[in-house]
A and B are shown apart, each in its own frame.
Chain A
Amino acid sequence: TQLLEQSPQFLSIQEGENLTVYCNSSSVFSSLQWYRQEPGEGPVLLVTVVTGGEVKKLKRLTFQFGDARKDSSLHITAAQPGDTGLYLCAGVNNNDMRFGAGTRLTVKP
């Protein structure tokens, strides 16, 4: 059983559509990170959220940390083919960081 559950596991959409992916846990985290991984490469950090209820925006990407700091969401507006990749969330507590299995997003032109 994963400490962090990400949903959906796979998502395929057309260019221009909006989407939301989720990262859920029964554990409370001191912070949560989102990474994007492209095929054949290592993950790259997109954002870190620290405060419950926090919302951070990165161009067309909006990240939210749940009020109880147990879950997070990533919303992409007007998806583009360049958004294609594996989106991983990672929960941090003390010196322990655990990754979810990821959501594999495909944006078709």
Chain B
Amino acid sequence: NAGVTQTPKFQVLKTGQSMTLQCAQDMNHNSMYWYRQDPGMGLRLIYYSASEGTTDKGEVPNGYNVSRLNKREFSLRLESAAPSQTSVYFCASSQGLAGHTQYFGPGTRLTVL
């Protein structure tokens, strides 16, 4: 089992460009999450999907959109990237919502110039 996979691993964008971060899990988990991690700020939740077909905003959703494509895949889209979105992005999955063990992917390091 690969667990949680994320692509790409690194990305550099110019301000205003768009991109989609991909995430897939092979653990048959119901819930999936997107976080960003910035120095001194810890992990902050952008969006989550409690189950296939549902998505909800987290703590810092502005500037992002998500799609729960199926039970395995959860993508994060930046429509018009800004330097403030420079960060490391982590996808995670769990059997249920908060309180269950979350399994994280290896992260995507995004730089917006």
Instruction: Name the contact of A42 in the complex, choosing from B42, B99, B101, B104 (C-beta under 8 A).
Output: B104
Alpha-carbon distance between A82 and B76 when the two chains are bound, in angstroms: 33
- Nearest to B105 among chain A residues (CB) is A42
Please tell me if B41 contacts chain A, counting CB pairs below 8 Å.
yes
Query: Are A88's CB and B43's CB within 8 A?
Result: yes
Query: Are A101's CB and B40's CB within 8 A?
Result: yes
Query: Are B42's CB and A41's CB within 8 A?
Result: no
A-B residue pair count with CB separations less than 8 angstroms: 54
Nearest CB of chain A from residue B92's CB, rounded to whole Å: 7
Interface size class of A (residues with CB under 8 A): 20 to 34
Contacts of B50 in A (CB 8 A): 95
Contacts of A77 in B (CB 8 A): none
Please tell me if B72 contacts chain A, counting CB pairs below 8 Å.
no
Contacts of B71 in A (CB 8 A): none
- Nearest to B109 among chain A residues (CB) is A40
Query: Are B99's CB and A41's CB within 8 A?
Result: no
Given A99-B42, A99-B44, A102-B42: A94 and B106 within 8 A (CB)? no
Give B53-74 interface residues, CB cut-off 8 Å to A: 59
Alpha-carbon distance between A77 and B103 when the two chains are bound, in angstroms: 26
Nearest CB of chain A from residue B101's CB, rounded to whole Å: 5
Please tell me if A20 contacts chain B, counting CB pairs below 8 Å.
no
B44, B98, B105 interface centre (most CB from chain A within 10 Å): B98
Q: Which residues of A contact B (CB under 8 A)?
A: 2, 4, 9, 30-31, 33, 40-45, 48, 88, 90, 92-102
